[in-house]
């Protein structure tokens, strides 16, 4: 469920007509619903009720400070994958003891930043990283709490570019080598092993791959404890999918995921961490755009909008589907028209949808790209010297701009022409 609904023929974000925001800030823009973000976080929190747990929002999905502040105030931790994300989490008021540092390429500078400023744990992904973290910790006179990410060789049956738990993927250590790697970690004086980390991919629409991975984690927990390791925390990653196409069957709900976690891991007495991003933020956001032209082609008609692939790259990068709906509700029985929905960037890949049946639209009409709250604004760029688009948050009947559109002067002033030119 989200809070973007038609009322009296107009599409609202909570209690604010999206057209009103468009009039105030211009198009295109992102809009997030505070009520939806809150609801989705609480669904996960409730799903693990009865277990010692922490819900860490995967910041790579949406790192706007207002989003992080809202979730942090609800009690969320943060899963960060860079020093920049760590700084954002802290700037949003999230304490270090609720921040988990993931990622395959942590630098010594990033490790030092987190150790000096406070960190819940590092999810270590390789033996070279483990050694580097040990060295940094010892240089600071600290001990770094770690889990080790194991690769369970489980096919998540998701898109090739977001599968992370197969043996050919770059993430984690092979689970077959886990005992040896944990034994080595125990010899490093700058590290303290506290648990196991696993994450098999994103946008999973079935629970079976999760269950297969978690059962391997449960078996590994018993083995490592028998070897003398204190395994008290299990970081299960994220990855639960959302319904991008509303005509399709919905993915499992957080409560189904939580029940499966309890069934597979509940008897181990471990604290559970999960790191959802997409399911919390995805359907909590839309991107609103205006039609520039309707172009009649020889074989198809093109709906040319003022948003582009630099604003929302998922369709170009992943072939991803986003429902595209008008801000004025279609009248019952209106005959649909078929369009290719495209942006103005000088790339054939700047295509949001092909052969999409929609109500007939004209220049100046407004449309909303649904399910755009995750991996939208965070992946945007200024390609073609197009300014980053505003982000807006709605709460009840009011809204605020939480990232302004930069001016062209601000964009140009970031460049420097050397004196010798």
pLDDT, tens only, 218-274: 999 999 999 999 999 999 999 898 888 765 568 889 999 999 999 999 999 999 999
Helices (H), 17-95: 18-25, 34-47, 65-73, 83-91
The residue-averaged pLDDT of 59-66 equals 98
Mean pLDDT of 69-84: 98
| Domain annotation covers residue 148 | yes
pLDDT at 303 over 90: yes
pLDDT score, position 168: 54
**Residue 87, pLDDT score:** 98
| Residue 155 confidence (pLDDT) | 56
Q: Of 228, 247, 274, which residue constitutes the final position of a domain?
A: 274
* Integer angstrom CA distances of residue 157 from 53, 238, 264, 266, 374: 27, 15, 20, 25, 20
pLDDT at 164 over 50: no
CATH of the domain at 18: 2.40.37.10
Q: What is the pLDDT of residue 248?
A: 58
Burial string for 390-406 (b: 16+ CB within 10 Å, else e) reads bbbbbbeeebeebbeeb
Q: Is residue 245 part of a domain?
A: yes
Partnered with residue 234 across adjacent β-strands are 196, 272
Q: Is the pLDDT of residue 325 over 50?
A: yes
Q: In this structure, are 336 and 255 located in the same domain?
A: no
> Which pLDDT value is given to residue 76?
98
Task: Using the predicted structure, report yes or no on whether residue 1 has a pLDDT greater than 70.
Answer: no
pLDDT at position 156 over 60: no
Which domain does 10 fall in, by range? 4-31+282-412
Q: Does 377 share its domain with 268?
A: no
> Which residues are part of the catalytic machinery?
346
Using the 3D structure, point to which of 274, 295, 320 is the last residue of a domain.
Answer: 274
- Total domains in the chain come to 2
pLDDT reading at 130 higher than 50: yes
């Amino acid at each position: 469920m989200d809070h973007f609904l038609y009322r009296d023929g107009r599409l609202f974000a909570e209690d604010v007509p999206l057209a009103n925001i468009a009039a105030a800030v211009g198009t295109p823009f992102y809009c997030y619903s505070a009520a939806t973000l809150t609801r989705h976080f609480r669904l996960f929190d409730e799903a693990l009720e009865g277990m010692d747990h922490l819900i860490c929002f995967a910041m790579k999905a949406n790192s706007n400070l207002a989003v992080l502040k809202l979730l942090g105030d609800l009690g969320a931790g943060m899963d960060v994958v860079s020093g920049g994300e760590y700084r954002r989490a802290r700037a949003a008021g999230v304490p270090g003891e609720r921040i988990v540092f993931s990622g395959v390429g942590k630098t010594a500078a990033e490790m030092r930043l987190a150790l000096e400023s406070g960190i819940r744990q590092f999810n270590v992904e390789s033996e070279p990283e483990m050694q580097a973290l040990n060295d940094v910790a010892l240089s600071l006179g600290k001990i770094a709490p770690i889990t080790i990410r194991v690769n369970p060789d489980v096919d998540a049956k998701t898109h090739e570019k977001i599968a992370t738990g197969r043996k050919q993927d770059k993430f984690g250590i092979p689970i077959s080598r886990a005992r040896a790697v944990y034994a080595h970690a125990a010899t490093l004086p700058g590290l303290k092993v506290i648990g196991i980390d696993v994450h098999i991919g994103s946008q999973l629409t079935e629970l079976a791959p999760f269950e297969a991975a978690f059962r391997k984690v449960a078996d590994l927990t018993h083995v490592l404890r028998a070897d003398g390791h204190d395994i008290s925390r299990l970081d299960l990653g994220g990855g639960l999918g959302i319904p991008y196409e509303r005509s399709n069957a919905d993915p499992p709900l957080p409560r189904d995921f939580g029940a499966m976690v309890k069934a597979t891991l509940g008897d181990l007495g471990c604290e559970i961490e999960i790191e959802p991003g997409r399911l919390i933020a995805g359907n909590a956001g839309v991107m609103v755009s205006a039609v520039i032209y309707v172009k009649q082609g020889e074989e198809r008609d093109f709906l040319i909008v003022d948003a582009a692939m630099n604003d929302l790259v998922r369709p170009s990068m992943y072939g991803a589907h986003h429902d595209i709906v008008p801000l004025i509700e279609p009248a019952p029985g209106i005959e649909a028209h078929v369009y290719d929905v495209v942006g103005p960037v000088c790339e054939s890949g700047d295509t949001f949808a092909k052969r999409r049946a929609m109500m007939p639209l004209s220049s100046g009409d407004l449309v909303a790209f649904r399910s755009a709250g995750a991996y939208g604004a965070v992946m945007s760029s200024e390609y073609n010297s197009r300014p980053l688009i505003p982000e807006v948050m709605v709460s009840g009947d009011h809204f605020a701009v939480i990232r302004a559109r930069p001016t062209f002067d601000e964009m140009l002033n970031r460049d420097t022409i050397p004196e010798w030119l």
